[in-house]
Structures are given as structure tokens and as C-alpha cells.
Amino acid sequence: MRVLEVLIFILLVFLLGIGFFFFYQTLHPTTESYSLDKINLTEYNLSFHSNQFMPNMRFATSNITYLIDRACNIKKVGEMHDAFLQLSSVTPLQFIPVSQDPQINVLCSAPTTTSEELGGSNYYIAGEGGPTDVINLSGAGYLIRAGKVALYHPENCNQSKLALHELLHVLGFDHDKNSQSIMFPVTSCDQVLDRSIIDDLNTLYTSPSLPDLAIVDVQANLTSSGLLSFSLFVVNRGFADANASVLNVLVDNIQSKQYTLNAIHPGSKRYFAVSNLLLNDKPHSLSFTVSPAQGNDAAPADNRVDLLLSRG
């Protein structure tokens, strides 16, 4: 009987020791970190010759809304419509009138806002028209959300030159040194719409308006008890909203977990973090993929990040 009690005591001590070991591991786990293996960020070709203020500037789509101020007389309204027609006849751009919240505001008086209120030396980047709301898309280009045209100088040509000049400023085009170009700082009636500007607009607006999701700034570590913690940012470098997106966690290239992220607007990023995700096995590699829940991504090649387990 005494021998049995001793054996039971030894067994209890053994089980208690195992329990204490796992309890200690939970409270004081050792961790191993993951190091970045590769991050696939698409290198956008923004080097094509363009006379824009910044490369790859465009509105979200080729359908651009406008509102002409009631103070504009019939002549000024006609000049603006002529400028719209000149561009829409040779590019994918279509200009759509609206009664409120336009993307392009057409004014017929000099701006009254002071340079101090705007925080700059000029009301526009150049001339009397230009973008007034631009978003940097983290290396993929620049999204124009709003612009203004001020038609307060008299038009002396049969075809609208001033309105077209200022409209091209709104579309992101700077002045040109060629005196025959419509974008020369001083307007004359013999100037023409440059073939290079037409080509640039066709290039910019032929590509569809899509979100472009990418994963950046990944941090991850794994405890000895198999608990994974990670954090990352998902950035939208595209010209359209990602209304919802799906983030996948792959362990040794096998999907382990899936999460749904809320909307990410162009030029914005969303922080996402998970603590103590239990993994069945100790992985050698860890990957994350992200994609729009619906629709396509402008650059699917940059939707994945791969990491390798670093053992110090």
C-alpha cells in the first residue's frame, strides 16, 4: 500500500512539473521573429515624357463632372463648352454637367481668396486654373479630386483658347516653352492642342479606375507555444475605393486564416494587428495576401508579402 502511495506521489509531482513548465512557457514564452523575404511592390512607369505638374495625374475616371457659375455670361459658357468638346473629341474624356458637388468648378471672375489664406504664393499652380484637391497615391501617381477654372480674361480667338488652356491646367498640365503650344504662358490664336497632350490623356484614361492594394510595414513574431502575433498596413495606391478587401494569412503556403477589412480609399492605408493566433505547427514561412472582396486589382502582383522565420 505504501509503495502505491509513493508511486502516486511521484506521478503527481511529475504532472505538476509538466503543468508548471507549460504555465511558465505561457507567462514567459520565448519568441522567434519573422524577417522579410520579399515584398512585391509594383514599380510604376511614371517616367514617360509628360508636361504634367506631377507624373500620372488624373481624375478617378474619364467621366468628369463640372458646374459653370451662374455669373458666367452666354459667351463664357460657350467658350467652356467648346473647350470640353475639343478634348472629348480626341480623348476618352467626357464632361458631364451637374448642379452640385462638381469635380470642376468654372468661375468667371477673378479669385477673391488671398494667397495667405491658401498658404501659398498663387491661387493655382499656374495660370487661372488648376487642381485644388490632389491625393498622393504612394508612388503610383496622383489622384485629382477637384479643380477650378477662372475665365475672367476676354477671349479674342474664334476657337476657345483660354478655356482650353485653363482646363488643361485642371487636368494636371503645366506651361510649355513652345510658343505654338496651347500651354504656352501667353495665349495666341495660332496655338494648337499638342499631340503629346492628347497621347498623355489617352494613356492616363485608357487604364481602368481600380483599387491597387499593397501590404507594407509588416511585423510578426511566434512564441515557443505556437502563438503568432503580427501587424501590418494595407495601402490603396489605386484610383478607386476598395470598398472591402480580404486579408489572408498563409502558413507554409497553406491558408490558415482569413480576415475582412473595411473600405480603404485611394491614398489611404488601414492598420491591422492580431495577437496570439494559435498555430497547429511551427511554420518555416509566413505569407500575407490581400485583394478586393469584389472586382479586380490594378496591380495584383503587389498583393503578397512573404516572410521567413528568423532564428537569430
Domain hosting residue 258, numbered range:
25-42+212-310
Beta-sheet strands, E only, within the chain: 31-39, 57-58, 63-68, 94-97, 104-107, 129-136, 142-150, 213-223, 227-236, 245-251, 254-261, 269-278, 285-292, 304-310
pLDDT of amino acid 281: 72
- Do residue 77 and residue 156 come from a single domain? yes
pLDDT of residue 274: 94
Q: Are residues 153 and 201 in the same domain?
A: yes
Which among 278, 300, 277 is positioned nearest to 289, based on CA atoms? 300
- How many angstroms separate the CA atoms of 285 and 105, rounded? 52
Residues 171 and 299 in one domain: no
Q: Are 296 and 251 a contacting pair, CB within 8 Å?
A: no
* pLDDT (0 to 100) of residue 11: 64
Instruction: Tell me the backbone φ, ψ of residue 89, rounded to 5 degrees.
Output: -80, -15
17 in a domain, yes or no?
no
Record the pTM: 0.79
54: CB partners within 8 A, 6+ apart: 134, 142, 172
Mean pLDDT by 10 residues, the chain (312 residues): 62 60 48 65 59 91 96 94 97 97 90 44 60 90 94 84 95 93 92 94 90 92 85 93 94 92 94 90 86 90 84 54
User: Could you give the CA distance from residue 206 to residue 62 in angstroms, rounded to a whole number?
Assistant: 8
Residues 83 and 114 in one domain: yes
Please report, as a single letter, which amino acid is at residue 99. S
Q: Are 37 and 63 in a shared domain?
A: no
Task: Give φ, ψ of 225 to 5 degrees.
Answer: -90, 10
Type of residue at 280: N
For residues 30 and 71, state if they share a domain: no
Q: What is the CATH number of the domain that holds 278?
A: 2.60.40.10
Q: Structural domain tally of the chain?
A: 2
Looking up residue 72, the CATH number of its domain turns out to be 3.40.390.10
pLDDT of residue 139: 79
Paired sense of beta strands 304-310 and 227-236, if any: unpaired
Out of 206, 227, 248, a domain closes at: 206
